[in-house]
Amino acid sequence: MTSPDDEFSAILSGERAPPSLWRRLPPSGRLFVRFWGGVGVLLLIAAATLRFMPASYLPEETKPRKHVERATSSSPHATGAIQTAGVRPIAEPIPALLAPMAGDPDHHLPQRGPNGETPREAYAAALPMVPQGNVRVALLLSGFGMSQDMSETALDDLPSGVSFAVPASAAAAPALLDESRKTGHELFLALPMEPASAPLDDEGPHSLGYDHTGQADQNDLYWSLSRFDGYVGVTNAFSGQDGGAYAQSPDFRMVAKELDQRGLLYFNATPGAPRYGPVIGGDASFTFDTAADADGVDSQLAWLLQIAKAKGEATGVAGPIRPVLVQRIAAWAKGLAAKGVTLVPVSSLSDKPASAASSPANRSDASADPALASPPAPTVAVSPSVNASPLPPTSTPAVPVSPSVSATPLPPPAADGVATPAKPPEPTANAPAPATSGF
């Protein structure tokens, strides 16, 4: 066996080559080199794979959301077919129109200002210019703020003339409320009220109910009114429900009186239902079925325009917010000007006292006109060989009468079983006299 000294002497004399660096490394060093060498090879393989991978397999780049700039008075470069000219930002909450909430210093109640200012005037969206002969249509979108993503989509895609209803029990984030004001969307507070289907349908623990005590309802009303600031009025459009049972009960008069004293509007989202005073407000002409698909939403928007054409104005209520609803409203709004229609804020059509609003002559809802009692029957998708006309209303079908058979009803049989001859019809005042024989 060769000793280390002999090996060293052999190396110095040139008889043996020195060992390689790898052999001189201790076992732990060799393991370290093997590990990081393997990692490097894997990274090179991954880089080469990404370099030559088709674009369809690459992950999509996430882009930050960009809000569409509305055509406001302070935005001279704003463009867009769906924007309404002359829209100004909504005022931020005004301290003079806010009263401290008893026992809750972080929240406020709306109130009239010292010089007679009212929230319904201070926070109303500006009325755009309405060309002569145009009819007016307004749209209230309920459920704003319940979904951050859908609310941002509504802000991005919808024209400023669309008004938003914010549920008191799920008040939107302050950033959403600020953005809606900056872009000209006026805000309504959606007041939770018990619907006729209660307790199966519930609008939250602070819902106003016709079976509650007056003090309990007033406490719940104050709680709702103080959830956020800067709204033009209150509505019963609560993201798909309308609280019709309480809103039509005598107990609601307390709410109406409170709203009027505080200078707020009340928008009644139940078409055809009376609105109790003394508060000033407006009434829905039509409530959308937002579970419909794109064609269904389009047909309902067209029906809203029919009401507006017949009555001179109409207000629709839609919600909760869904992607297809926002998409179809945005497309519909682009074509209004060409149809002689101007989109206006809901507050501009909500200036009627309750006593006048109950009169059919002053109502813009479809029930005030028998010709607009119900929307047209939907069309049904059928094969090309079948006529795709609208379905007729459900009724007892008429029995076809052969041309050779008289359509005159048969006379009742006589008591003896022999039919009594039919009595000839009486001549009318305008009927010609029967011809007489010349014989």
Show pLDDT as tens, one digit a residue, over the chain (439 residues): 566 566 656 656 666 666 666 677 777 777 777 787 888 888 888 887 777 765 444 444 434 444 444 433 333 333 333 444 456 899 999 999 999 998 888 999 999 999 999 999 999 999 999 999 999 999 999 999 999 999 999 999 999 999 999 999 877 789 999 999 999 999 999 998 876 555 545 556 778 876 678 888 899 999 999 999 999 999 998 755 554 578 878 888 999 999 999 999 999 999 988 888 788 999 999 999 888 999 999 999 999 999 999 999 999 999 899 999 999 999 999 999 999 999 999 999 999 887 544 544 455 555 555 455 556 544 333 333 334 334 334 333 343 433 333 333 434 444 444 444 444 444 444 444 444 433 3
CATH, residue 187: 3.20.20.370
Burial of residue 127 (number of CB atoms within 10 Å: 0-12, 13-18, 19+): middle
DSSP string, 142-178: E-TTSSHHHHHHHHHHS-TT-EEEEEGGGPPPHHHHH
The CA-based dihedral angle spanning residues 321, 324, 330, 334, taken in that order and rounded to the nearest 10 degrees: -150
Q: Same domain, yes or no, for 160 and 41?
A: no
Task: Give residue 336's pLDDT.
Answer: 97
The phi and psi torsions of 430 (rounded to 5 degrees) equal -100, 0
Distance of CA 301 to the CA centre of its chain: 12
Q: Is residue 397 part of a domain?
A: no
Structure tokens at 356: 């006048």
Q: Same domain, yes or no, for 29 and 125?
A: no
103: left (phi over 0), alpha (psi -120 to 50) or beta: left
Q: How far apart are the first and last CA of the chain?
A: 162
Q: Is residue 291 part of a domain?
A: yes
Task: Give residue 74's pLDDT.
Answer: 36
Q: Same domain, yes or no, for 206 and 333?
A: yes
The letter for the amino acid at 74 is: S
Q: Is residue 430 part of a domain?
A: no
Reduced to 3 states (helix: H, G, I; strand: E, B; else coil), residue 106 is strand
Q: Same domain, yes or no, for 291 and 243?
A: yes
Structure tokens at 347: 């507050």
Which residues is 343 bridged to in the sheet?
Answer: 137
User: Cα dihedral sign for 332, 334, 338, 344?
Assistant: positive
- How many domains does one find in the chain? 2
Task: Give residue 1's pLDDT.
Answer: 56
Boundary (domain end) residue, out of 372, 394, 409: 372
CB of 430 within 8 A of CB of 437?
no
Beta strand residue intervals within 77-222, DSSP E: 98-101, 104-110, 135-142, 163-167, 187-190
Q: Same domain, yes or no, for 11 and 159?
A: no
Boundary (domain end) residue, out of 372, 402, 418: 372
Task: Give residue 193's pLDDT.
Answer: 86
Q: Is residue 428 part of a domain?
A: no
Boundary (domain end) residue, out of 320, 342, 372: 372
Task: Give residue 251's pLDDT.
Answer: 84
Q: Same domain, yes or no, for 173 and 294?
A: yes
Query: In this structure, how many other beta carbons lie within 10 angstroms of the beta carbon of residue 340?
Result: 13
Burial of residue 44 (number of CB atoms within 10 Å: 0-12, 13-18, 19+): exposed
Burial of residue 353 (number of CB atoms within 10 Å: 0-12, 13-18, 19+): middle
Q: Is residue 132 part of a domain?
A: yes
The letter for the amino acid at 296 is: G
Q: Same domain, yes or no, for 44 and 158?
A: no
Q: Same domain, yes or no, for 234 and 293?
A: yes
Task: Give residue 34's pLDDT.
Answer: 79
Query: In this structure, how many other beta carbons lie within 10 angstroms of the beta carbon of residue 422?
Result: 11
Domain enclosing residue 226, as ranges: 95-372
Beta strand residue intervals within 269-416, DSSP E: 281-283, 286-287, 313-318, 341-343
Q: How far apart are CA 99 and CA 2, in angstroms?
A: 101
Task: Give residue 273's pLDDT.
Answer: 87
Q: Same domain, yes or no, for 342 and 289?
A: yes
Which residues is 166 bridged to in the sheet?
Answer: 189
Q: Is residue 435 part of a domain?
A: no
User: 70: which residues sit within 8 A by CB, 6+ positions away?
Assistant: 78, 80, 83, 87, 159, 160, 183, 184
Q: How far apart are CA 297 and CA 187, in angstroms?
A: 23
Q: How far apart are CA 430 and CA 407, in angstroms?
A: 22
Q: What is the DSSP letter of 240?
A: T
Q: Same domain, yes or no, for 158 and 240?
A: yes
Q: Is residue 130 part of a domain?
A: yes
Q: Same domain, yes or no, for 138 and 30?
A: no
| pTM score of the predicted model | 0.66
User: 246: which residues sit within 8 A by CB, 6+ positions away?
Assistant: 193, 194, 195, 207, 208, 209, 210, 252
Q: Same domain, yes or no, for 114 and 52?
A: no
Structure tokens at 399: 């029995």
Q: Is residue 267 part of a domain?
A: yes
